Structure 1
């Protein structure tokens, strides 16, 4: 069995506040609105956006990388695992992080809720 691989630089990962407030928790964003609905359903709101930032950093620190992809600009990392939520349901989520070549700091690209079916298999 292979060894566990964690996100490089996970202790210093960056999540711009705008990524959370204007995308993940924005009900008006064309792509982010379905994510905002999901995050609201488990207790994250625009008023407590910092709690989502902390939960996403914890998600990156506690869970292993499930997939990597090299691109012409750097490496993309997928991480799947439970996301600590204010309502205590702690749904499974997939976070995508990116590290540019020549850099060490991972930055959040996006987060997707994982289907219930996948959650039942864990």
Structure 2
């Protein structure tokens, strides 16, 4: 997961959606906690959309994101796999 995605967007207090995560107990200095939360986020039963595009295959999951303070806000996480590669890579996430 790119450092710029974590601190430049998801944990950026100046970004309109970054404040949601900060309000739930995630911190700029504890970016690893957020990374682990997103790696636990996808669950097969929570897959809401899957489709092929020019980059490979996209998978969208919606469910509460386990947060340090227990608020667990509803989030969509977006994952991508490249053609011919079954591994999924985190692309982005946003609150719903």
Please indicate, yes or no, whether the TM-score normalized by the shorter chain is above 0.5. Answer: yes
Q: How far apart in 2 are the matches of 1:20 and 1:78?
A: 18
Which residue is 2:10 aligned to?
24
Structure 2 counterpart of 1:36:
18
Q: Which runs of 5+ in 1 are unaligned?
A: 1-14, 115-122
Question: How much does 1:98 deviate?
Answer: 0.7
Asked if the contact 1:81/1:93 (under 8 Å) is kept, the reply is yes
Higher Rg: 1
1:81-120 matches, cutoff 5 A: 81-114=63-96
Aligned pairs for 1:44-83 (under 5 A) are 44-61=26-43, 64-83=46-65
CA distance in 2, matches of 1:61, 1:68: 13
Residues 30-52 of structure 1, C-alpha deviations (whole Å, 9 max, x = no match) = xxx12211111111111111110
* RMSD of equivalent CA atoms: 1.7
Deviations 1:60-110 (A, max 9, x none): 247521101210220111000111001111111100111111222211111
TM-score if structure 2 supplies the norm length? Answer: 0.87
Q: How many residues align?
A: 96
**Structure with larger RCO (C-alpha < 8 A, sep 6+):** 1
Q: Which has the higher strand share?
A: 2
Q: Which runs of 4+ in 1 moved over 3 A?
A: none
